[in-house]
Amino acid sequence: MTKRAQVGDWVQIHRVVLPAGARAPQVPADTQSAPLEMWVKGILLAGGELGQPARIRTAAGRELEGRLVAVRPPPGHDFGEPVPQLAAIGAEVRAWLERGGEGS
């Protein structure tokens, strides 16, 4: 990943909204011990060093500040791997229907 962003780059910033221990009273203990964190993406307006404060303009036009954490971050999800437990289902059920449902 690029180490430095230029003004105008599509970047992501991070902020702690509520520190650990200052969470809503109703949250369970595991959540209570973690901070509430926030990430937002936008066009870099100021800053550019990863890990340092930065200001962005979001897609809605808001100006937000936070710590610069990524430059052109990819979405991070995909189709996963083929799942062996699903692989045979189509053929099994088609064959069962062909047999007129015998063995049901």
Partner 1 sequence: MSYAAVMGRRNDIMVRAAGLDYRDFTTGTLAFDYEAMMKVAGDLATIREIQRQTRVGDTPLWELNNITRLARQLAPPGKGARIFLKDEAANPSGSFKARRAALSVFHAARNGYPGVAAATSGNYGAAVASQAAMRGLPCIIIQEVFDSRGVGQPEILEKGRACEAYGAEVVQLTVGPELFYVFLVTLEETGYFNASLYTPYSVAGIETLGYELAEQVYGREGRYPDAVVVTHAGGGNVTGTARGLRKAGAAATQVIGVSVDLTGLHMASDRDFNRKSFTTGHTGFGIPFLTWPDRADVPRNAARPLRYLDRYVLVTQGEVFYVTELLAQLEGLERGPAGNTSLAAAISLAQEMDRDQILVVQESEYTGAGKHPWAQLTFARENGIAVERGDPAGNRPGERIVIPEHPRQVKAKDYPLDGVCRSYLRNAVARAGSAALTPADHRFLAEDVRRDEEWVKRVLEEARTVEAP
Residues that bind partner 1 (CB under 8 A): 17-18, 22-24, 26-28, 30-31, 34-42, 58-62, 75-83, 85-86, 89-90, 93-94, 96-97, 100-101, 104
CB of 101 to partner 1, least distance (A): 3
- 56 close to 44: Cβ distance less than 8 angstroms: yes
CB of 87 to partner 1, least distance (A): 9
Contacts of 74 (CB under 8 A, 6+ apart): none
CB of 49 to partner 1, least distance (A): 20
- 54 close to 68: Cβ distance less than 8 angstroms: yes
